[in-house]
């Protein structure tokens, strides 16, 4: 199989570049603002011994020079290629003036190699070096990133490809890593402060008077006014799908902005494996390649039974391997639009460098519905507290059950900790199915992937039935920009206690109106069907609004582990827990 790290791209003039939609450029190692778009091939490091150096350097993606966090002088960081079964040693040196870290996302490693400051180690001090050494007991597509404040947002992320000892189950003639990310010229600390003051600041897709008039024509004045009044009373917005939009972000593909057109070449008739990684800080992408079917063969590094689709949603931190077979001698656009349709990352598959295909228009911006928020007819109990806080009588809304395909729904109960000043919404009922592709993807005319389509090859690692269940609700307060589990921010919560060797079930319930990708460090999350049957093995689980999803976990990794939403600003705002795995009977307290 032929491996291509990155092909060359045509240069653009500054004027043409800046005039292009989503324009950006990538300059590494430059201390001045260059007028010509440049791109440098991403370095590929392979073997068992690696030297990585974290530093700061001027970079330019938008026509403005900013300081980025780089590894070995580049964004994204070098592609690391390992082999299953090898022991790797990585000497990571920190040349910045602040502490740093690297977490090997999705890798099952000892706790002191996991790279989370304050949980598994103290971090890498300025001028210091930390030696990571561990055996690679898996294969597939993964990635690495900082776990120190907002360094991931400023550029510290990179791909990992681990080669299977016996060769790939699914043959391909060529492969590319396709790493999606979001870049901002604004200081992430400023973005965070802005969100705390005005959480909808970056939402430039709010409904207008034109939308109101269009809805009146379609639904009538009475229904339209009632709808607007309902959302207004809740102090929520149906277009609030993500907190940081394309207004602040330039979306990148392998470190290349849309105008620069990252390109992967192919020969007609080849099977091409594309290893998609969402290495963004806050963005969820819907990916398609017009004119090509996408055969999904791996999810989060784990082989799945092949399933052919036209589009898939990839949440922050997820990875998907797909195989495409371009049979025509022409270019194809790799199109990854953000969940709120405020922008896109774009690249090209082509027989030759310099070619480009038509870029499809962004889909219409999706609107959340009361069903997406888990509201039901005749709601009582937990939602009454929500109604009291928001000034809305949910019981009078008259909305029926959720329309998530064939998904069933279940009424919800809420812990006392969820009734407080840091929770502004509680769902009445939740969808329990896995066949919901996500807000904005239902009935769009394309075959869209859902978790119900994914079946990990070989079944579960541990076939024991879980002996204990932990239910956690994903909670938040939109206006205050506070995020939490069960209404408790990280600073207020005790660690979750797992006993070494136990098999347990974690059930997540999303009480918010946003999609959350939840990542448990150190252990696999084996997603179950509503009947409790094994479905798919993942390291990051996307939970849709008003969804209830369960997965089994085997606590086979002793130590302290991070457990959090992978939307970076949500994690920093409190949606983070610590999990402690210790021998049975040795826990000193905490939540069980």
Q: Kindly write down the DSSP assignment for every residue of 458-510, as one continuous string.
A: T--S--SPPSEEEEEEEEEETTTTEEEETTB-GGG-PPEEEETT-EEEEEEEE
Please state the length of the chain.
592
Pull the structure tokens for residue 506: 């974690």
Radius of gyration of the chain (CA): 23
For the CA atoms of 219, 223, 225, 229, the dihedral, rounded to the nearest 10 degrees, stands at: -130
Distances (CA, A) of 212 to 19, 208, 231, 237: 32, 6, 13, 14
Q: CA-CA distance, 447 to 357, in Å (whole number)?
A: 22
Residue in the block written with tokens 């909808």: 200
Where do the domains of the chain lie?
6-187+248-350, 369-438+459-592
Q: Would 6-187+248-350 and 369-438+459-592 be classified into the same CATH topology?
A: yes
pTM above 0.75, yes or no: yes
Distances (CA, A) of 336 to 60, 277, 425: 21, 12, 30
Tell me the CATH architecture of domain 369-438+459-592: Sandwich (2.60)
DSSP H or E stretch at residue 554? strand 548-554
Cα–Cα nearest to 330, from 295, 362, 292, 275: 292
Q: CA-CA distance, 371 to 577, in Å (whole number)?
A: 29
Written as tens digits, the pLDDT of the chain (592 aa) is: 544 433 333 333 332 232 233 333 333 333 222 222 334 567 999 999 999 999 999 999 999 999 999 999 999 999 999 999 999 999 999 999 999 999 999 999 999 999 999 999 999 999 999 999 999 999 999 999 999 999 999 999 999 999 999 999 999 999 999 999 999 999 999 999 999 998 787 776 655 555 545 655 677 766 655 655 665 555 556 656 899 999 999 999 999 999 999 999 999 999 999 999 999 999 999 999 999 999 999 999 999 999 999 999 999 999 999 999 999 999 999 999 999 999 999 999 999 999 999 999 999 988 766 556 555 543 333 333 333 333 222 222 222 333 333 457 888 989 999 998 999 889 889 999 999 899 889 889 999 999 999 999 999 999 999 999 999 999 999 889 999 999 999 999 999 999 999 999 999 999 998 999 999 999 999 999 999 999 999 999 999 999 999 999 999 999 999 999 999 999 999 999 999 999 988 765 444 4
Q: Residue 58: CB partners within 8 Å, gap ≥ 6?
A: 27, 30, 31, 32, 65, 66, 67, 68
Query: What is 6-187+248-350's CATH superfamily?
Result: Cupredoxins -  blue copper proteins (2.60.40.420)
């Amino acid at each position: 199989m032929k491996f291509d790290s990155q092909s060359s791209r045509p240069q653009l003039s500054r004027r043409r570049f800046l005039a292009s939609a989503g324009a950006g450029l990538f300059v590494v190692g430059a201390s001045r603002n260059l007028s010509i778009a440049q791109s440098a091939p991403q370095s590929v490091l392979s073997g068992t011994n690696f030297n990585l150096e974290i530093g700061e350097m001027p970079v330019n993606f938008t026509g403005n020079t900013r300081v980025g966090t780089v590894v070995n002088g580049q964004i994204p960081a070098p592609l690391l290629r390992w082999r299953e079964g090898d022991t790797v040693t990585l000497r990571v040196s920190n040349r910045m003036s602040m502490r740093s870290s690297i977490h090997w996302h999705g890798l099952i490693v000892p706790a002191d190699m996991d790279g989370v400051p304050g949980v598994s180690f103290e971090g890498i001090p300025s001028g210091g070096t930390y030696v990571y050494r561990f055996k690679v007991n898996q294969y597939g597509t993964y990635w690495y990133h900082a776990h120190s404040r907002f360094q991931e947002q400023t550029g510290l992320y990179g791909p990992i490809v681990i080669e299977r000892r016996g060769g790939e189950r699914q043959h391909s003639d060529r492969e590319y890593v396709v790493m999606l990310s979001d870049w901002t010229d604004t200081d992430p600390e400023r973005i965070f402060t802005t969100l705390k003051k005005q959480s909808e600041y970056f939402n430039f897709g709010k409904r207008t008077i034109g939308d109101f008039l269009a809805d009146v024509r379609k639904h009538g004045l009475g229904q339209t006014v009632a709808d607007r009044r309902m959302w207004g009373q809740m102090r929520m917005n149906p277009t609030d799908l993500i907190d940081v939009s394309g207004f602040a972000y330039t979306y990148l593909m392998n470190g290349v902005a849309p105008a620069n057109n990252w390109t992967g070449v192919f020969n007609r008739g080849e099977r091409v494996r594309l290893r998609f990684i969402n290495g963004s800080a806050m963005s969820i992408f819907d990916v398609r390649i017009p004119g090509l079917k996408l055969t999904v063969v791996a999810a989060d590094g784990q082989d799945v039974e092949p399933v052919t689709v036209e589009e898939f949603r990839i949440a922050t931190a997820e990875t998907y391997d797909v195989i495409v077979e371009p049979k025509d001698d022409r270019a194809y656009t790799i199109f990854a639009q953000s969940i709120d349709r405020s922008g896109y990352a774009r690249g090209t598959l082509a027989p030759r460098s310099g070619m480009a295909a038509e870029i499809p228009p962004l889909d219409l911006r999706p609107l959340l519905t009361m069903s997406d928020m888990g509201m039901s007819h005749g709601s009582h109990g937990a939602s009454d507290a929500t109604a009291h806080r928001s000034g809305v009588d949910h019981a009078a809304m008259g909305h029926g059950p959720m329309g998530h395909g064939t998904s069933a729904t279940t009424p919800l109960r809420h812990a006392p900790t969820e009734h407080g000043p840091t929770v502004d919404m509680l769902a009445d009922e939740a969808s329990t199915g896995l066949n919901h592709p996500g807000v904005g993807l239902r009935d769009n005319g394309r075959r869209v992937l859902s978790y119900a389509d994914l079946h990990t090859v070989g079944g579960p690692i541990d076939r024991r039935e879980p002996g204990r269940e932990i239910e956690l609700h994903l909670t938040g307060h939109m206006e205050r920009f506070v995020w939490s589990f069960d209404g408790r921010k990280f600073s207020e919560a005790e660690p979750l206690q797992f006993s070494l060797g136990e098999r347990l079930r974690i059930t997540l319930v999303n009480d918010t109106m946003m999609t959350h990708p939840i990542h448990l460090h150190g252990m696999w999350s084996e997603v179950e069907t509503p009947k409790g049957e094994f479905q798919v093995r993942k390291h990051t689980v996307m939970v849709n609004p008003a969804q209830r999803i369960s997965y089994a976990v085997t606590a086979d990794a002793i130590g302290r582990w991070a457990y959090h939403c992978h939307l970076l600003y949500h994690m920093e705002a409190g949606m983070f827990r610590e999990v402690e795995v210790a021998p049975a009977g040795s826990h000193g307290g905490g939540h069980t």
